Structure 1
Amino acid sequence: MLDIRYKSILTVALPMMLSGFIQSVISITDAAFLSRFSKLAYDASGSAGLWYITMYMVFIGLGDGAQIAMAQKVGEKNAKGFAAVFQSNFLILVISAITLTLLVQLCMPSLMAYLVTNNELARAEQSFLEIRSYSFWAATITISIQASYLAVGKTTLVLITSVIAAVSNIILDYVLVFGIGPFPRLGLEGAAIASTGAEFLAMLFLLTTLIGGKLKKHYPVWKENFITKRQMNENLKIGIPLLFQGIVALSIWTIFFIWIEQMGGDNLTVSLNIRYVYFLAFIPIWGFAAATKTYIAQYFGAKQFEQIPVIQKRIQLLTVCFLLLTFHGSIFYPEALIRLVSDHPEHVVKSAQILRVVSGSILIYGLGSVYLQTISGLGKTRFTFAVECLATSLYIISAYLFIKVWNWPIQWVWLVEYVYFITMGLSSFAYLKWINRITDKIVYE
């Protein structure tokens, strides 16, 4: 099992943070190229990217559920149980890829035409999504293997995978967006092809590490078939709430951006700037979130409940320190951060105003996410889904009032982030306190 010293926690979390940073580099690279190609391409990739991420949350949710289940098997020292979770998760992801590909190809054109007021933008978004949907097939392998590595704390391989994806994406963006040498000038479609190709290259690397690596020596992931109806149900019991949790969160954010687009002017463009830069702040939070799930699940599986509060406090302290280190620029030099994705002077000024307003919400998220991920690590994912529903309900109600009823300026509309993060943190904290009262398992002090 993993050691809970600060050094050990960082050993697990740092590669995930760097992986998150690299994923942000991919998004920022696409944004930087497309913002210099055309405003339509930039807006379409940003809006369609939200749709893509929303659907991709199916894989993330199921992968997170498998990570938790496999980490608990590690704590229980149950190698065959680990393999059963892995194999069942892969089969579920294949079914998901088929379903989502059909959804994008058959249903999204009509939905996009209905929701997006600009017809040219709607067509561009659909073109982007049709290409990106092929990445779902890479995700079936990538997410399956990544979940197993996270469950045992082998996060360095996940980091290397992200490096491969980022480097290949930058190269492909460079040659396909503007057309370099023999390659045609493809613009928005070029960016979509670049990102999809990069994900397949990363998938091939992960598959190679699993085939030739040591994990299969400890856990018989390929030796025999461990898939059963019972195991499938157990995977879905943990993974489905996380799946819907991610879909709900991203769907609400997508609606938020649709409403911003309907405000007119450059509000969508400056808000997309925030979306890209925002992910820089999430780097340490997501890195420690992955570590939290693995640590809590392993120690819960081993029935060492008294260590769980210690793990929480140490990860919260590390999260705050890294947030201050990596995202202090949102207060002191937000214009420099915005210029990473856009060089339009007016857009930079308006985006910087928003960034200053929302900066405090990130710190709240960093603290609250540890409580939420603790609940996930315990396997109580139905409650994390309930927390998500409560937080997003208050979020979308607030957004509706700010945008549709009160017509606030765009920088004040973004105060909805505080509504979401405060609700999420307080609800998770309250649930953990409640567990202490009804059980003898100490999960929070």
Structure 2
Amino acid sequence: MKTKYTYKQIWTIAYPILISLIMEQMIGMTDTAFLGRVGEIELGASAIAGVYYLAIFMMAFGFSIGAQILIARRNGEGNYKEIGPIFYQGVYFLLAIAAVLFTLSIVFSPLILKNIISSHHIYDAAESYIHWRVYGFFFSFVGVMFRAFFVGTTQTKTLTLNSVVMVLSNVVFNYILIFGKFGFPQLGIAGAAIGSSLAELVSAIFFIIYTWKRIDCKKYALNILPKFQSRTLKRILNVSVWTMIQNFVSLSTWFMFFLFVEHLGERSLAIANIIRNVSGIPFMVAMAFAATCGSLVSNLIGAGEKDCVRGTINQHIRIGYVFVLPILVFFCLFPDLILRIYTDIPDLRAASIPSLWVLCSAYLLLVPANVYFQSVSGTGNTRTALAMELCVLAIYVAYATYFILYLKMDIAFAWTTEHVYGIFILLFCYWYMKKGNWQKKKI
């Protein structure tokens, strides 16, 4: 198959995204590692509360993916002056959305959580986390637009620097606020939420200063702060609204998974949170190459080189396996070594090993599935991507409801839901890229 990019070029674009995603994952890993030494209740509650926050955050991330597709297309066309207006309209929109979602979360999240969490202890801890975590909406929503700009223009090294700053900030803030160091009160799970929100504030400030000092703002029309432009925003939303819905629904089903597991007991929920964080490393590796593929597909179409798309997709699947498989082998051979990072309770580590093995096997499907799915989004056919995702998630929820909620299967078996997701999303997206009418899409 015809290709345009070498593996070295793909790696050059992907590795800063990979580093930034892993660094962001380390925020969750840091929270889990610290809270795993506070107690199993806090460890389990942070799973539900963390995914609750993530489900809302992913709407903003979905919007930024739409903006990123447009920025990448304009970059491929050489229309650099159109990139700034896309960026700023995205920032305006996401700040408004952050204000609305912040207010709704503060008012309604206690009521929602009380009705869906069976354990009173888990509810108290989760509500405490969310109350402070939602302040991060304002900072993280701005951050995703900066990511859209840097990925869309293939200037991804900045993401690495930003991620290092954010993770180091999170480690410091969490250590001080969770355990009450240097004269600060011992806040436990609330301290983890405050620390993560402050780290996102530091990240946003870094992006602003770096862009102003190091990027050619005039080239991309970033030096002009435009008025609100409904036409530009509408153009972004035409692409991104489907990605926003898709991301929210996707993470909402992930939230439902943890709610189902919570009904299996506090120990099962604690195991699920540990495995979620361990699996985050191979997931972020797979997503880095998938996101790179989506951006390059959009650039190829913008440059009129549609015949290179299929070959580029296959390249990303191969390089994804090259990086993910060694990680999975290491996890399977030395599970206790990995799990020791997240908890110092020996029987909790032992109980988590079967779940880790099951989830590792799912990545044999998830690597190509994610690459193909992001490629569909990269064509600009985000409505089609949403339709496929909704079909797959309906199957996912039905499977999880029957085997976890109804049959109450073991927590390790519960993770086979990831195999179900990977199989069906891969089948749908492969069929679309082979047979679909994606080459004529205009954005």
Query: What's the TM-score bracket when you normalise by the shorter of the two chains?
Result: over 0.9
Query: Distance between the aligned counterparts of 1:119 and 1:439, measured in 2?
Result: 50
Contact 1:292/1:374 (8 A) holds in 2: yes
Query: Distance between the aligned counterparts of 1:74 and 1:251, measured in 2?
Result: 33
The residue that corresponds to 1:65 in the other structure is 66
Secondary structure, aligned partner of 1:216? coil
Query: Distance between the aligned counterparts of 1:245 and 1:96, measured in 2?
Result: 17
Query: Distance between the aligned counterparts of 1:372 and 1:164, measured in 2?
Result: 30
- Tell me which moved more, 332-341 or 102-111: 332-341
The residue that corresponds to 2:417 in the other structure is 416
| Cα deviation, residue 251, structure 1 | 0.6
| Cα deviation, residue 226, structure 1 | 6.9
Contact 2:136/2:200 (8 A) holds in 1: yes
Give the AA of the match of 1:111: I
Deviations along 1:299-345, one digit per CA (max 9) or x if unpaired, are 11111111212211111110010001223223222222222212222
TM-score (norm 1): 0.95
| Cα deviation, residue 439, structure 1 | 7.2
The residue that corresponds to 1:335 in the other structure is 336
Distance 1:72 1:402, change over 3 A: same
Give the AA of the match of 1:281: P
Contact 2:279/2:360 (8 A) holds in 1: no
The residue that corresponds to 1:27 in the other structure is 28
Where do 4+ consecutive residues of structure 1 move more than 4 Å? 438-442
Secondary structure, aligned partner of 2:187? coil
Give the AA of the match of 2:82: G
| Cα deviation, residue 182, structure 1 | 1.4
Give the AA of the match of 1:329: F
Is residue 283 of structure 1 aligned with residue 281 of structure 2? no
| Cα deviation, residue 228, structure 1 | 2.8
Give the AA of the match of 1:110: L
The residue that corresponds to 2:238 in the other structure is 237
- Tell me which moved more, 409-418 or 323-332: 323-332
Question: Structure 2 matches for 1:75-114, cutoff 5 A?
Answer: 75-114=76-115
Secondary structure, aligned partner of 2:263? helix
Is residue 135 of structure 1 aligned with residue 136 of structure 2? yes
| Cα deviation, residue 121, structure 1 | 2.0
Report the identity percentage: 27
Deviations along 1:121-150, one digit per CA (max 9) or x if unpaired, are 212212211211111111232112121011
Structure 1 spans left out of the alignment, 5+ residues: none
Give the AA of the match of 1:183: F
Distance 1:344 1:72, change over 3 A: same
The residue that corresponds to 2:298 in the other structure is 297
Query: Distance between the aligned counterparts of 1:120 and 1:411, measured in 2?
Result: 24
The residue that corresponds to 2:357 in the other structure is 356
| Cα deviation, residue 11, structure 1 | 0.7
Distance 1:46 1:366, change over 3 A: same
Contact 1:280/1:327 (8 A) holds in 2: no
Secondary structure, aligned partner of 2:179? coil
The residue that corresponds to 2:313 in the other structure is 312
The residue that corresponds to 1:55 in the other structure is 56
Query: Distance between the aligned counterparts of 1:240 and 1:330, measured in 2?
Result: 37
- Tell me which moved more, 140-149 or 423-432: 140-149
| Cα deviation, residue 227, structure 1 | 4.7
Distance 1:265 1:201, change over 3 A: closer
Query: Distance between the aligned counterparts of 2:250 and 2:335, measured in 1?
Result: 26
The residue that corresponds to 1:403 in the other structure is 404
Contact 2:294/2:374 (8 A) holds in 1: yes
Query: Distance between the aligned counterparts of 1:90 and 1:29, measured in 2?
Result: 28
Is residue 122 of structure 1 aligned with residue 84 of structure 2? no
Give the AA of the match of 1:385: L
| Cα deviation, residue 105, structure 1 | 0.7
The residue that corresponds to 2:210 in the other structure is 209
Query: Distance between the aligned counterparts of 1:215 and 1:238, measured in 2?
Result: 27
Give the AA of the match of 2:140: A
Secondary structure, aligned partner of 1:303? coil
- Tell me which moved more, 76-85 or 253-262: 76-85
Is residue 160 of structure 1 aligned with residue 161 of structure 2? yes
Contact 1:58/1:96 (8 A) holds in 2: no
Give the AA of the match of 1:64: I
Give the AA of the match of 1:318: I
Question: Structure 2 matches for 1:144-183, cutoff 5 A?
Answer: 144-183=145-184
Contact 2:4/2:308 (8 A) holds in 1: no
The residue that corresponds to 1:39 in the other structure is 40
Aligned residues: 439
Contact 1:141/1:207 (8 A) holds in 2: no
Distance 1:28 1:171, change over 3 A: same
Query: Distance between the aligned counterparts of 1:376 and 1:361, measured in 2?
Result: 22
Give the AA of the match of 1:155: T
Query: Distance between the aligned counterparts of 2:134 and 2:376, measured in 1?
Result: 32
Contact 2:306/2:439 (8 A) holds in 1: no
TM-score (norm 2): 0.95
Distance 1:81 1:311, change over 3 A: same
Contact 2:47/2:269 (8 A) holds in 1: no
Contact 1:59/1:140 (8 A) holds in 2: yes
Query: Distance between the aligned counterparts of 2:417 and 2:292, measured in 1?
Result: 28
The residue that corresponds to 2:386 in the other structure is 385
Give the AA of the match of 2:79: N
